[in-house]
Amino acid sequence: MDRINRLVNLLALVILSLSLAACGYKGDGEFQTHDIWPLERFELTLPSFPLQEGYSGQFNIDGYRSHGTSHLTLIITAPEAIDFSKSDVEIDVRISDALGTDFFHHAGAINSYFSRSDALGKRAVARPGEWRCRYLYQDPLLNKPLFPFQAGAPLRKTKELKCLHSMPSGKSQYDVLVNVGNVPPELAGATARIELSSSWK
């Protein structure tokens, strides 16, 4: 009986700590914690924004927690499945602190890196601030790497594209500025969102 009571109390403590951690977040979007210290994982999903040419938006991150480094994922969702490698939508994302120090800044066409690699016939060296996105091939065996690339292999049409990066995240407050440039016709009605996550390893 004592063992059951201890387990119940531990479970209640875990639930309370997770609730308090989530309640401490005061910025935009939805912040969640998973697991318990020291194995905590933190996840933040910012509100979606429209992929409309000329769109400019700002989000506030206040109370974010991390292990010093965060994985940033830009997720683009299209109304219909398309070949994202041919889509040159331009997205500028800048994340900075109250002093104006940039912790993340990527801009330009999302397919720039893939297009250069395709033209070279091999994986190119990524340039600073260049988006790196995960395109999927029709052959599932080619999709095992995080960023698969096989010159000349046919790609799969998808409704979603993920661009993955990392950033230092030793602070809890940031400003996120988003600007959208060129939007090709195939992405009319599309949306995008930014997710941050941080784990202990």
Residue in the block written with tokens 């499945």: 81
Note the Cα 63 to chain centre separation in Å.
Answer: 18
Long-range contacts, stretch 99-107, CB < 8 angstroms, 24+ apart: 103/167, 103/168, 103/169, 103/171, 103/174, 104/72, 104/165, 104/167, 105/129, 106/74, 106/130, 106/131, 106/163, 106/165
Q: Could you list the residue range(s) of the whole structural domain that residue 22 is in? A: 2-198
Both structure tokens of 121? 């016939």
Average pLDDT over residues 34-47: 84
3-state helix, strand, coil in the chain (%, to 5): 20, 40, 40
Query: Which residues are paired to 56 by β-bridges?
Result: 179
Residue pointed to by tokens 């951690």: 21
Largest CA distance in the chain: 68
Residue 199: pLDDT band with limits 50, 70, 90:
confident
Domain count, the chain: 1
CB 176 within 8 A of CB 56: no
Lowest mean pLDDT among 7-21, 153-167, 182-196: 7-21
Angle at 106 between CA 32 and CA 74, to 5 degrees: 40
Instruction: Please give the pLDDT value at position 18.
Output: 45
Q: How far apart are the first and last CA of the chain?
A: 36
Average pLDDT along the chain:
89
pLDDT at residue 123 greater than cutoff 60: yes
Whole-number pLDDT of residue 171: 85
Residue 4 has pLDDT above 60, yes or no: no
* pLDDT range class, residue 200, cuts 50, 70, 90: confident
Strands of 91-96's sheet in order across: 56-62, 173-180, 91-96, 102-106
State the CB neighbour count (10 A cutoff) for residue 73: 16
